[in-house]
Structures are given as C-alpha cells and as structure tokens.
Amino acid sequence: IVDEIVAELKNKASTWIGRISPAGSLRRGKETIGDIDILVSSANSHPIMDAFVQLSPVEEVLAKGETKSSILTRQGLQMDLRVVLPDSFGAALQYFTGSKPHNINLRERAIKRGLKINEYGVFTQSGKKLGGKEEEEVYNLLDLPLIPPELREDRGEVEAAEAGKLPKLLENPEIRGDLHVHTQASDGTASIEDLIEKAKEKGYEYIAICDHSSSLRIGGGLSEKMLLAQIREIRNINCHLTDFQLLAGSEVDIKKDGSLDYPDDILKQLDIVVAALHTGFKQDEKTITDRVVK
C-alpha cells in the first residue's frame, strides 16, 4: 500500500516533489510497524499536501498542515507526510528514520564534538549549518560512515561503525526464494499463479506454499483432502515451469498434546513442513516447550 500511495502522490504532485522516501520503522525494516512515515523534499509544500489528503486510499484526514499532514487509509493505517526543504532532506530522513535510542546516541556524539544535530541539519554551537542535504553527510560530520537504516537500534552499531566493523547486510538480489508463503486457500490473498508471478518479478528461484493446517479454522486451514489436492496442483504446475521451483509445504499446527495436525503419510508427501503453535498458550513454560521438542 505504501508503494501505491507514493506512486499516486508522485503522479499528482510530481512538479513540486524533489525527493521522497519512507522513514520510521518501515524504513528500518521492522517486522511490525505503527504509523507510516513518508518524507518529501520541496520548496512548496502546499500542492503536495493538497494532493496527499485527496489520495484514493484516504478514509479520513486526521490533520492537514503546512509541513505535516496525517491520513487514515481504508486499511486502517495512519500515514504521516512531512515536507522539508531540499537542503535539510538528509538530516530529516536520518532523524525521522530513528530509532529514538540511535538518535540520542548520535546527539550525544555531536555534543562531544561541539556540534548540534536535529532534523534540519548539523550545526556548530554558534548556529552555522555544516550539512544536512544528504544523510551520509550527517554521519560523516560525526566521523562515522553511513549506517544502514536496518541497524539503527542503538545495539552497538555506532561503535561498530566507528571501528569500521559494520556487517554487510543481505541485499534483495541475494534472496533466492521464500519458504513460507500463504495462498488464498487459507489466509493469504493471492493465488498460486499470482505468487509465482510476483516471485519471478523479485528474481526468486523458488517459493514454498505453506497454507495453514486443518485445525486452525480462523486461518482457513486446509483439510487433509484439500491439502492433497493442493499438492497435486503444485506438482502439475511444476511440470510447466522452467527456471523456477514450486515447493509443496504446510504450516502445520502443533496440537496441545504435541502431535502434528496431519498424519505422517500426508506429511511425507510435502517438501517442507513449518511446525507452529497456534493454541494452548496458557500452558506452563515446560509444557509448551515439550510440545515443540516432541
């Protein structure tokens, strides 16, 4: 949805938009996010804000201002848009990407160097602006290389950067496939064919279909008969694929007694089994652990 909103905003306000980027926990690649933050550089915020609050996914306009507006999408997500001047875009992107503990670390580092850092840039104590147009510039002024957003949690990344020991992060082209994908047969939203198409667009070489097992009714779990039919469908589709492998799997529920949701004769027909706990969460720690170990 973020990509769709950004694309529509660019289309409606391209004349005034300089640069645009997600920020916050989304940019840091967190598993779960709260509000969605979008940052735009422009010398004229008014037409951008006008376009933003009129985007097609908007359910409600929560606030509209000169430099910040907030909307609620039809999917129930709050999205905040901030517009900053071009020469502050890098500093703002760093600041609004966070995390808060990471930013506090950088601020303390700046103070030790006789500097001030905020969403507008890096400044001397007398107020002279030293930089802020580029995010890398902000880090360089603090004697650091650019730290990837995914690492900015104040868990030693600043110290590692200072020592030249930042880890090399996995890049999207290096990801060869996905071993846990749900279809519309359970609680997913796409068909197997649609998933194959999207996976190929990402450059994947394989995906494993792992819909829920039968006991998870709230997740649209597949009965034994449905799973066997899906396995046959997957094998048939594979016969027509080139340079791509479709794997038959299942997210199989670990029941309260530790047994699995499908019998062994069915499990043996799968390429991959993802065992998962979905019930019995009030059991004591030992009992739950024993269920997993079993």
What are the domain boundaries of the chain? 2-84, 88-145, 172-293
* 24, 35 Cβ separation under 8 angstroms: yes
Give the HSE-up count for residue 124: Cα atoms under 13 Å, Cβ half-sphere. 4
On the question of pLDDT at 218 being above 90, the answer is no
CA–CA dist 22, 40 (Å, integer): 9
CATH topology of domain 88-145: Beta Polymerase; domain 3 (3.30.210)
Residue 219 has pLDDT above 80, yes or no: no
How much is the pLDDT for 124?
97
Average pLDDT value for residue range 130-142: 98
Looking at the predicted structure, is the pLDDT value of residue 220 above 90?
A: no
Spell out the residues 6+ positions from residue 91 whose beta carbon is closer than 8 angstroms to its own: 117, 118, 119, 120, 121, 122, 131, 132, 133, 135, 138
Average pLDDT of the segment spanning 107-118: 98
> Is the overall model pTM greater than 0.85, yes or no?
no
Q: What is the mean pLDDT of residues 129-155?
A: 98
Q: Order across the sheet with 245-253: list the strands.
A: 177-181, 206-209, 245-253, 272-276
**Which residues, at least 6 apart from 186, have a Cβ–Cβ distance to it below 8 Å?**
211, 212, 216, 219, 220, 221, 222
The residue-averaged pLDDT of 65-70 equals 97
pLDDT at residue 178, rounded to an integer: 98
Query: What pLDDT was estimated at residue 2?
Result: 86
- Tell me if the bond preceding 223 is cis, omega within 30° of 0: no
Angle (CA) 51 37 29, round 5°: 135
Domains 2-84 and 172-293 share a fold: no
Residue 172's pLDDT is 87
Q: What proportion of the chain, given as a percentage, has pLDDT over 90?
A: 91
Q: How far apart are CA 109 and CA 156, in angstroms?
A: 14
What tens digit of pLDDT does each residue of 12-45 get? 999 999 999 999 999 999 988 889 999 999 999 9
243 pLDDT above the threshold of 90: yes
Domain 172-293 adopts which CATH fold?
TIM Barrel (3.20.20)
Per-residue pLDDT reduced to its tens digit, 195-217: 999 999 999 999 999 999 998 77
Residues 143-177: tens digit of each pLDDT: 999 999 999 999 999 999 999 999 999 988 999 99
Predicted confidence at residue 49, as pLDDT, reads 97
290: nearest Cα among 262, 254, 263: 254
Q: Mean pLDDT over residues 1-6, rounded?
A: 87
Nearest alpha carbon to residue 207 among 271, 159, 260, 161: 271
Contact 91, 71 (CB under 8 A): no
Pick the CATH number of 2-84 from 3.40.47.10, 3.40.50.1970, 3.30.365.10, 3.30.460.10: 3.30.460.10
Average pLDDT of the chain, as a whole number: 95
pLDDT of residue 22: 96
Q: What percent of the chain has pLDDT over 70?
A: 100
